[in-house]
Structure 1
Amino acid sequence: MSKIRVLVTDDSAFMRKVISDILSEDPDLEVIDRAKNGLECIEKCSKLQPDVVTLDIEMPVMDGLQALEKLMSTNPLPVVMISSLTKEGADATIRALELGAFDFVTKPSGPISLDIHKVADRLIQCVKAAALAKRRKKIGGTGVLPRTLPVKEQVVPKTIQPAKPASPPVPTPAPAVVSTPPSVPRRSGANSRLVVLGTSTGGPKALQKVLTAIPANFPAPIAIVQHMPAGFTKSLAQRLDSLSQIRVTEVQEGEVLQPGTAYIAPGGYHFEVRQGSGKLYAHLTQEEPRAGHRPSVDVLFESVSRLTNIDKWAIIMTGMGNDGTKGLQLMKQTGAVTSIVEDESTCVVFGMPRAAIQAGVADNVVPLDNIPEVLCKLLH
């Protein structure tokens, strides 16, 4: 397979060199050129057609957000943002993800980060995943299913093969009824229902699609883990809250979970749900990362597996790796739970959903646009 061709964009000559050196150390990557501002990046993208672009946010002449918006409208390419760990940097990063950036990597110590090597592995991983997502899209991996089907009615191979070019349409099965398993009695009361959701790469945009379609009178709290570093989840929650009918907030230690509210785990903290005095409440810890993640979807799901007399729904959406699958398996083993997993056709990265499907814990495989409707039907 040919090398992944990368264009590095940063206004600092030092950062351009260090980022280029990090990427060039990987045998699968090739830095084909560098750009010192957004305008130069756009010009070089048009000429060189790189596979992936790394794009700093704060630059003169044309900043990263302006360049990204221009690229997405004229020459869409996978873009990995390079962001500073500041409130302004976090807000700009969330906006970049809305505009279509694939993912982001944080500079550990400001615009000129002498310790950028701390995030070298993360940077290489993001660039490779962005290129893979682009290739999947080219070979036809993003066709949308005509309707939602329970996973048992879909053919899920033991090993997921690369998507093939679209074939002639086949007759569509009759619509399936998606409902809570009849063996699970529906409970009443404000603290008898809980939805948990895990996502990673591509998650901010997917969360916006889901949460903005949920009605204000939604009858359960939604506990969310989105893989993000500290300082970014608050900006994400504030942005989603401004767009949604339900309340969206970064959860706080000891906070009682209320229906009609989505609670996002703070970056750098594991989020557990506990119960007491007839209430569900949040418990945050800084225990060791789980498989490199803090917050971890598995930690959230495992905590929910220990809750009693609660109707539970679990959602796994786009993301790299397999976080959430072990936790969902434990939820299945310890009680009734209905799961929704995002279909490959709409995933930015199919890793986390694929792992859940292959483990046999996906009750409903659903394209992103259909998840809010399916969830509301399950709860009502």
Structure 2
Amino acid sequence: MKKVSVLIVDDSAFMRRILSDILKKDHRIEVVGTARNGKDCLEKIHTLNPDVITLDIEMPVMDGLEALSIIMENHPRPVVMVSSLTKEGAESTVKAVSLGAVDFIQKPSGSISLDMKTVEQDVVRKVLVAGEANVNVHKGKPVGEKVSVPDGVRNQGNLVAIGTSTGGPRALQQVLTTLPGNLPAPIVIVQHMPEGFTKSLSERLNRLSEITIKEGEHMEELQNGIAYIAPGGSHMQVIQGEGGLFIHLDKTAPINGHRPSVNRLLQSLSHLNNVSITSVIMTGMGADGLEGLIELKHRMVQTYSIAESKESCVVYGMPKAVVKSGLADKVLELEQISQSIVQSLHIRRR
């Protein structure tokens, strides 16, 4: 089995050593080199040709975001960002994953921290997943055109639910920014992300979209044309109340390592009455969402399931599980999903 070769880029010698020590413990990974900044990284890509790059964001000479843009344009390959937990760090990280970074690793307590050892398993897992990622799927593809809602289509009990993980922020940007502001349904979204990052993600997507995009709040009523992203670190469910649908947040135990969990969201939708669900499962490792979709399809006739196709997935895991189960009503490339969402609301008018 070929090892995943990794180039570690960080201006801190301490962090370079910590990351190297963590990754070298796994026999599936080979650290082929380190670099001190973005400029040094670009020079070493030519000589070392790594499969994966871990890239710090804040560095002198050339920072991580500038280096990432050049890498994705000229030397596309999986990049895992190394981020601080500050608000500015979260915003830069969200921008990085929107630019094409596959995922990110958190620095628990700043740029120089022994706490990094507490996230060893996470670091190894994300590097290995990145080694299998297809970062060329979006290269050269134009952003999809805006979708319009056919005349006369109103919300008659429609709800859209989206689940995604690795590669998801960029996929969400493609889908959400092409939806019309007058979308006759609310959208609930689970994107696997830790606490502190989903707010930056929702704010960035909101600036780029006609629909309103925000972090979901506990007992907030769902409204048409608004997308609600589950806050990192909390499960999000939808419950039926007096006159409408409401968000319920909780911090119960992670499900299969995920909190928020796509399964938990979809399972909650299976208990709603007189609601037509459009379920969308996009890029991500694993199978989160499959169990929830099985329950949703079993309990509710009005469930329309869309899965992203392998051709456009950064990581073809979550959608693959749905497709293999036979529960996907449509298997579509990313650029076609927003149109299909709108069509699903139109087709199922009652």
- Please indicate, yes or no, whether the TM-score normalized by the shorter chain is above 0.5: yes
**Alpha-carbon offset, residue 189 of structure 1:** 7.0
**Alpha-carbon offset, residue 2 of structure 1:** 2.1
Equivalent residue number for residue 202 of structure 2:
237
- The structure 1 residue matched to 2:306, chosen from 340, 356, 363, is 340
Aligned-partner Cα distance in 2 for 1:113–1:322: 33
**Alpha-carbon offset, residue 234 of structure 1:** 0.4
Aligned-partner Cα distance in 2 for 1:133–1:74: 17
Aligned-partner Cα distance in 2 for 1:111–1:342: 36
Pairing 1:268–2:233 present: yes
Aligned-partner Cα distance in 1 for 2:73–2:329: 37
Equivalent residue number for residue 18 of structure 2:
18
Aligned-partner Cα distance in 1 for 2:293–2:196: 27
**Alpha-carbon offset, residue 250 of structure 1:** 0.5
**Alpha-carbon offset, residue 37 of structure 1:** 1.1
Q: Is the 8 A contact 2:282 2:308 kept in 1?
A: yes
What amino acid is aligned across from residue 252 of structure 1 in structure 2? E
Q: Deviations over 1:90-113 (max 9, x none)?
A: 100011112111111111111112
Identity %: 52
**Alpha-carbon offset, residue 298 of structure 1:** 0.3
Q: Secondary structure at the match of 2:90?
A: helix
Aligned residues: 333
Q: Moved runs in structure 1, 4+ residues, more than 4 A?
A: 188-191
Equivalent residue number for residue 41 of structure 2:
41
Pairing 1:372–2:338 present: yes
**Alpha-carbon offset, residue 118 of structure 1:** 2.0
Query: Greater CA deviation, 276-285 or 104-113?
Result: 104-113
Q: Secondary structure at the match of 2:133?
A: helix
Equivalent residue number for residue 82 of structure 1:
82
**Alpha-carbon offset, residue 292 of structure 1:** 0.5
Aligned-partner Cα distance in 2 for 1:361–1:113: 45
Q: Is the 8 A contact 1:190 1:258 kept in 2?
A: no
Q: Secondary structure at the match of 2:331?
A: strand
Equivalent residue number for residue 355 of structure 1:
321
Equivalent residue number for residue 126 of structure 1:
126
Q: Secondary structure at the match of 1:245?
A: coil
Q: Is the 8 A contact 1:38 1:64 kept in 2?
A: yes
Taking only aligned residues, the RMSD between alpha carbons, in angstroms, comes to: 1.8
Aligned-partner Cα distance in 1 for 2:113–2:326: 44
Q: Is the 8 A contact 2:102 2:133 kept in 1?
A: no
Q: Deviations over 1:40-93 (max 9, x none)?
A: 111111221111100011111111111111212221221100111110001000
What amino acid is aligned across from residue 19 of structure 1 in structure 2? L
**Alpha-carbon offset, residue 120 of structure 1:** 1.4
Equivalent residue number for residue 293 of structure 1:
258
Q: Is the 8 A contact 1:191 1:279 kept in 2?
A: no
Q: Deviations over 1:241-273 (max 9, x none)?
A: 001110000111111000101000000000000
TM-score (norm 2): 0.92
> Which runs of 5 or more structure 1 residues have no equivalent in the other structure?
145-187
